Amino acid sequence: MDYEPLGGRCKSPPEVASWGPDRLDVFVLGMESALFHKAWDGHAWWPSPTDWEPLGGLCASPPRACSWGPDRLDVFVLGMESALFHKAWDGHAWRPSPTDWEPLGGLCASPPSVVSWGPNRIDVFVLGMDSGLYHKAWDGTSWWPSPTDWEPLGGLCASPPSVVSWGPDRIDVFVLGMDSGLYHKAWDGHAWWPSPTDWEPLGGLCASPPKAVSWGPGRIDVFVLGMDSGLYHKAWDGHAWWPSVTGWEPLGGTLSTLREGVMVAPLPLPQAARDIQPTSTGFHGRA
């Protein structure tokens, strides 16, 4: 199987975002821990198939990127002091500058997880040093609760959060607990459910952080590795968890890693299922 070479000398896995048809934006850390970027514009890779745009920084985590509309990109990293930093493409230029970053505070124990449920909206989640979940949001005008403060959402988390949105004003967050079970909370447009600091237990004995994806309103699919290194799945169908609140569908395999979920066309759910059983820049444009 052949691959297209895209150059660079990369220190982190790639992070990819899209803001419209025929558009891909790719971000990596270079060996000096700065951020680098390249984009597919529908015709060619920019700045070239093997060159990269330097975006500065001294980054302590892989980048996380999202888009809330055409020609908009928001990128987040942790700095060396474990605080969160942000930069954005506004359709004309990088803000606050091509190599500067906006400080967003915090003392973070995990890379950020980001999601957008609509234009001008970004929600960011991290683990704090107390293993609790923390949240902040851009509402189109300002960061809430403030540029450097965070909303505590409780928990004692053993994995970074996986976050997903299936519609306006909706967010679902998944983490592993200290018992290796999956836990969930949701923003329903008015409040955090089951409460700002409580979590819904979803069972399992998980050997990897969860990966969640949505392919439409009211639909969520979550994947984890079990202790047998097999892949397991559960789904929210808009009314209930399938195959049950604490049950999981086994998907087989002997896997060493769990990659991001990919949105696909909906398929009917199979019938057979069971629980998981305890058993600065310096590369001159090249990343």
Q: What is the CATH number of the domain that holds 174?
A: 2.120.10.70
The answer as to whether 23 is a domain residue is no
Cis peptide before 47 (omega within 30 of 0): yes
- Domain containing 118 equals 53-252
User: How confident is the model at residue 230, as a pLDDT?
Assistant: 96
The answer as to whether 47 is a domain residue is no
Rounded to 5°, the CA angle 128-134-135 comes to 145
Find how far residue 151's CA is from the centre of its chain.
18
- What token pair was written down for 57? 């920084």
Rounded distance between C-alpha atoms, residue 189 and residue 276, angstroms: 32
- Of 217, 144, 157, residue with least CA distance to 184: 157
Number of independent structural domains in the chain: 1
The answer as to whether 167 is a domain residue is yes
Q: How do beta strands 192-193 and 211-216 pair?
A: unpaired
What HEC string does the chain produce?
A: CCCCCCCCCECCCCEEECCCCCCEEEEEEECCCCEEEEEECCCCEECCCCCCEECCCCECCCCEEECCCCCCEEEEEEECCCCEEEEEECCCCEECCCCCCEEEECCECCCCEEECCCCCCEEEEEEECCCCEEEEEECCCCEECCCCCCEECCCCECCCCEEECCCCCCEEEEEEECCCCEEEEEECCCCEECCCCCCEECCCCECCCCEEEEEECCEEEEEEEECCCCEEEEEECCCCEECCCCCEEEEECCCCCCCCCCCCCCCCCCCCCECCCCCCCCCCCCC
The answer as to whether 5 is a domain residue is no
The answer as to whether 204 is a domain residue is yes
Rounded distance between C-alpha atoms, residue 157 and residue 174, angstroms: 10
Rounded distance between C-alpha atoms, residue 206 and residue 181, angstroms: 6
- In order along its 287 residues, the chain shows pLDDT tens digits of 799 999 999 999 999 999 999 999 999 999 999 999 999 999 999 999 999 999 999 999 999 999 999 999 999 999 999 999 999 999 999 999 999 999 999 999 999 999 999 999 999 999 999 999 999 999 999 999 999 999 999 999 999 999 999 999 999 999 999 999 999 999 999 999 999 999 999 999 999 999 999 999 999 999 999 999 999 999 999 999 999 999 999 999 998 766 443 222 232 323 333 333 222 222 223 33
Which phi and psi (to 5°) does residue 20 adopt?
Answer: 175, 175
Contacts of 284 (CB under 8 A, 6+ apart): 54
Rounded distance between C-alpha atoms, residue 156 and residue 139, angstroms: 27
The answer as to whether 241 is a domain residue is yes
The answer as to whether 18 is a domain residue is no
User: How confident is the model at residue 255, as a pLDDT?
Assistant: 84
- What token pair was written down for 78? 């942790």
pTM of the model: 0.88
- Label residue 28 exposed, middle or buried (CB < 10 Å: 0-12, 13-18, 19+): buried
The answer as to whether 260 is a domain residue is no
